[in-house]
Amino acid sequence: MQSPTGEPRDLTGTRMELEVGPVAHGGHCVARWDGQVVFVRHTLPGERIVAEITEGREGDRFLRADAVEVLEAAPGRVEPRCPVARPGGCGGCDFQHASLATQRELLGAVVSEQLSRLAGLEREVTVRPPLDDSAPDGLGWRTRVTFAATDDGTLGLRRHRSHAIVPLDDCPIASRDLPDVLSLPWPAARVTAVAGSDGDALAAAYDVRGELPPLEATGVLSDGRTVHGRGWVRETVSGRSFKVSGAGFWQVHPDAATTLVDAVMRAAAPKAGERVADLYAGAGLFSAFLGEAVGPEGAVISVEGDAQASRDARRNLSDLPQATLIHGDVSRALSLGHVGERCDVVVLDPPRTGARAKVVRAIAALGPRTVVYVACDPAALARDVRTFAELGYTLGDLEAYALFPMTHHVECVALLEPVGP
């Protein structure tokens, strides 16, 4: 049916009963309505629900919807702990309506489905909680949060797929060690609150429109420049100290860095004297432990494109003369030969978009005995694993961790090795 203007009818607001199918990548489940695919949030596989369309027109390839009423609940359903983790509310959490065990099952199903569909690999994936899990209830773990500000300075988070801001008095997944920014009005477009593992904290305000509010014992940044207080926090991982500037990149779960270092080092198994490349190296987390493992006779080439992260890495790796830091685009550094002609081990932790074919080909050309791929997006991982397979590298062990409880994000550490002769 078309609207009076001749355009396909907008279905937003339409309600219907649906039988919910499997989970899909992105924090929703798949259902069908009159032949159309519907991606539904706030539901679980096997449920019968009333869904309300939030985006889509008749004839679209798919529709988006929220589950506004649960007629038959799945066994893993629980009551959300946050009052705005519901249809029409905050978009920060995807699975507060699921138990933590159910969340991990859903994440494992997503990783398995992406590997099957995009890489042609059938693999059952078990998703684990972080090592030494300090947030066993899935709450109070997020040590870095960026809030958006309304015109009157009230802070909140955005609705799912929207610029609209949902004001917050509290965020249950935010660390209790964060500076209290939610109780104050901020003349800024956004505010990032950070809590370091050693007790440091800061708030970074961006696009500042007026005088910033005072915060006790907290460094306050404005548009990347220090206004007063310290502009970095300390992080300790397995006995080693790191400094991370402002709102610079660092894992947001307090146990994530230790969990990933443990997984990467077991997979890479670096030996004294080896040459290792650490690509998309951030503040030098993996480079530091790789450098210690290869020792003074070995070499670690650490490549990072972000200028601030590179400055942090230079400070964090200053005691390791075997570490060479390269600030620049990873693809360019590889193509120009800055990483060298050969490497024994390559570790890469690319952004959500993945490494992509050009970088994968350049890594394979280095002839590493082992590639360790740290992935925050299972679809990007699967696509790159397929490219590695075309170049003679097969997927070995794969570990997956729920380092972002209540959300659809999952971290994978994949081991890739050359196929034998």
Question: pLDDT tens for residues 23-52?
Answer: 999 999 999 999 899 999 999 999 999 999
Query: What is d(CA 153, CA 35) in angstroms, rounded to the nearest whole number?
Result: 45
Residue 218 CB contacts under 8 Å (≥ 6 apart), including other chains: 179, 201, 202, 203, 229
Residue type, 272: A
Confidence category of residue 224, pLDDT binned at 50, 70, 90: low
Residue 417 marked ligand-binding: no
Among 6-10, 54-58, 328-332, the minimum mean pLDDT is found in 6-10
Residue ranges of the chain that CATH labels 3.40.50.150: 249-418
Contact 115, 121 (CB under 8 A): yes
Mark out the alpha helices in 342-395 (DSSP H runs).
Answer: 356-365, 378-390
Query: What is d(CA 349, CA 351) in angstroms, rounded to the nearest whole number?
Result: 7
Among 84-98, 184-198, 203-217, 306-320, the minimum mean pLDDT is found in 203-217
Residue 308 marked ligand-binding: no
Cβ atoms within 10 Å of 300's Cβ, excluding its own: 30
Cβ atoms within 10 Å of 215's Cβ, excluding its own: 18
Residue 210 is predicted with a pLDDT of 87
pLDDT at 292 over 80: yes
Query: What is d(CA 102, CA 354) in angstroms, rounded to the nearest whole number?
Result: 27
SS3 390: helix
DSSP state, residue 80: -
CATH topology of domain 249-418: Rossmann fold (3.40.50)
Residue 290 is predicted with a pLDDT of 98
Contact 318, 251 (CB under 8 A): no
For the question of residue 343 being annotated catalytic, the response is no
Among 197-206, 392-401, 407-416, the minimum mean pLDDT is found in 197-206
Of the candidates 29, 93, 171, 376, the residue annotated as catalytic is: 376
Residue 307 is predicted with a pLDDT of 94
Residue 66 marked ligand-binding: no
| 225-228 β-sheet, strand order | 165-167, 155-158, 144-149, 190-195, 201-206, 219-222, 225-228
Residue ranges of the chain that CATH labels 2.40.50.140: 15-77
Residue type, 159: R
Query: What is d(CA 80, CA 77) in angstroms, rounded to the nearest whole number?
Result: 9
Residue range 15-77, CATH number: 2.40.50.140
Instruction: Give the dihedral of Cα atoms 358, 359, 360, 363; nearest 10 deg.
Output: 130
Contact 156, 165 (CB under 8 A): yes
Mean pLDDT across 390-401: 98
Confidence category of residue 420, pLDDT binned at 50, 70, 90: confident
Query: What is d(CA 278, CA 325) in angstroms, rounded to the nearest whole number?
Result: 10
Look up tokens 């894992």; give the residue: 251
pLDDT at 1 over 60: no
Contact 270, 293 (CB under 8 A): yes
Residue type, 129: P
Residue 233 is predicted with a pLDDT of 93
pLDDT at 96 over 60: yes
Query: What is d(CA 186, CA 390) in angstroms, rounded to the nearest whole number?
Result: 52
Confidence category of residue 234, pLDDT binned at 50, 70, 90: very high
Instruction: Give the dihedral of Cα atoms 200, 289, 374, 300; nearest 10 deg.
Output: 120
Query: What is d(CA 292, CA 125) in angstroms, rounded to the nearest whole number?
Result: 31
What sign has the CA pseudo-torsion 358, 362, 365, 370?
negative
Nearest alpha-carbon partner for 277 in 287, 269, 267 = 287
Mean pLDDT across 140-168: 97
Query: What is d(CA 320, CA 340) in angstroms, rounded to the nearest whole number?
Result: 19
State pLDDT tens for residues 145-157: 999 999 999 999 9
**CB crowding 383-406: b at 16 or more within 10 Å, else e:** bbbbbbbeeebebeebbbbbbbbb
Nearest alpha-carbon partner for 389 in 375, 373, 412 = 373
Q: How many helices (H) and strands (E) does the chain have?
A: 7, 23
